[in-house]
Amino acid sequence: MSSAPIRPYLVHLRSSEDLITSYEATRAGFVSMALEKNRLATPYVSEARVLQATASLAKSPAELLKMDSLQHGLLTAAGLSDKALKILSPENGYAAVQNLIKQFLEPAGDKFVEELVYRFLLTCGDALGGSSRNIGGSWAQQKLTRTMISTLRVAGAGYKWCQRDSEEWLTMSEDDAGIEERLKGLSWNNSHGDRTLIFNLTVPVVSNNVDMCLFAFASDHVDVKTTPLGSYIALGELKGGVDPAGADEHWKTAGTALGRIREAFAKKKLYPAIFYVGAAIKEKMASEIWAQLEDGRLTNAANLSDETHVVSLCRWLYDL
């Protein structure tokens, strides 16, 4: 195994122009996001169909209250999210449903089922909107994670992976399809020793969340509260938004975060590798990123929409 190059970005970049997201990549990104939104909407559409079929058995809006299988659907149609239902009392929920019936369903006459489904989808749309705003970040992490797993497999390196919900570390298996959707971390061993990559971690010395942290220890030593600062090998920001209109803002946010990381570690006389990965990179920000690569503020950078960039960055992380 070869050691990581001193200027690793030169493996896949020759100038700032290589960082710019192409029109074709932007178009493909929008299509991917649209498909993901449709996937996220599928459960809501299915629930609405069940709600419509079940509510159609009622002869009047008042009868809906007597149908136990509709109660959660009625609460949702009344504008109450799952988060709100955890706070409100059953009495509050009942009052909201009664108001729904009086204010909207009864005035709709024989179209009350259509009105019910419409109100249900309005509330679901708000929930879907919240999920959709996180699509870019989730997609970015999944894409980078899958490439990282492939890098480890091609290198013949065994790995462990951490489930996001349970935070349990599991040993790799032959069937690893889909684990990037529920993965929080990866751990492997290279010629330098044990390595562990964790996503979305609050770093105490920075007092902020960092998208990616690479440590010089095995997965069974992960405890961010007691982790020595010298164990941090690399820290990076990952931005998956594909809309060029928001690209500059993403870079501004990430640049501020990366600067904060550099300063926090420099005060401790520590200088881990700092890197940036973004899906939407325009000309001006490409020049700024390149300048930071050239002067050493950034150790590496990649455009997430370019497979060559992502593979190069993952090989670099693996070798560090």
What's 229-249 look like in SS3?
HHHEEEEEEEECCCCHHHHHH
Asked whether residue 130 carries a pLDDT value surpassing 70, the answer given is no
Range in 64-73, 113-122, 219-228, 263-272 with the lowest mean pLDDT: 219-228
Q: Tell me the pLDDT band of 224, cut-offs 50, 70 and 90.
A: low
Question: Average pLDDT of the chain?
Answer: 87
* Buried b / exposed e along 198-218 (16+ C-beta atoms within 10 A): bbebebeebeeebbbbbbbbb
Residue 157 and residue 235 in one domain? yes
For the chain, the domain total comes to 2
Most confident of 22-31, 132-141, 282-291: 282-291
Mean pLDDT of 288-294: 95
CA 24 vs. chain centroid, Å, equals 23
In a domain, 299, yes or no: yes
Q: Tell me the pLDDT band of 288, cut-offs 50, 70 and 90.
A: very high
Chosen domain end from 92, 115, 131: 131
Residue 156 and residue 265 in one domain? yes
pLDDT at 2: 44
Range in 34-43, 147-156, 230-239, 295-304 with the lowest mean pLDDT: 34-43
Chosen domain end from 131, 149, 175: 131
Residues ≥6 apart with Cβ < 8 Å to 168: 162
Residue 223 and residue 92 in one domain? no
Length of the chain: 320
- The overall longest dimension of the chain from CA atoms, in Å, is 74
Residue 155 and residue 275 in one domain? yes
CB atoms within 10 A of CB 18: 18
% of the chain exceeding 90 in pLDDT: 50
Residue 140 and residue 124 in one domain? no
pLDDT at 136: 60
Mean pLDDT of 31-59: 86
Residue 277 and residue 139 in one domain? yes
Residue 190 and residue 207 in one domain? yes
pLDDT at 30: 79
Residue 157 and residue 289 in one domain? yes
* Helices within 56-178 (DSSP H only): 71-77, 82-87, 90-100, 112-132, 135-154
pLDDT at 1: 40
* Helices within 157-209 (DSSP H only): none
Residues 1/264, Cβ–Cβ less than 8 Å: no
pLDDT at 128: 66
In a domain, 50, yes or no: no
Residue 275 and residue 314 in one domain? yes
Residue 98 and residue 157 in one domain? no
Residue 75 and residue 25 in one domain? no
Residue 114 and residue 216 in one domain? no
Q: Which domain holds residue 84?
A: 56-131
Residues ≥6 apart with Cβ < 8 Å to 95: none
pLDDT at 93: 86
* pLDDT, tens digit (0-9, with 9 covering 90-100), for 148-193: 999 999 988 889 998 888 888 888 887 777 788 888 999 999 999 9
Q: Which two tokens stand for residue 319?
A: 């070798």
Helix (H) or strand (E) holding 190: strand 183-190
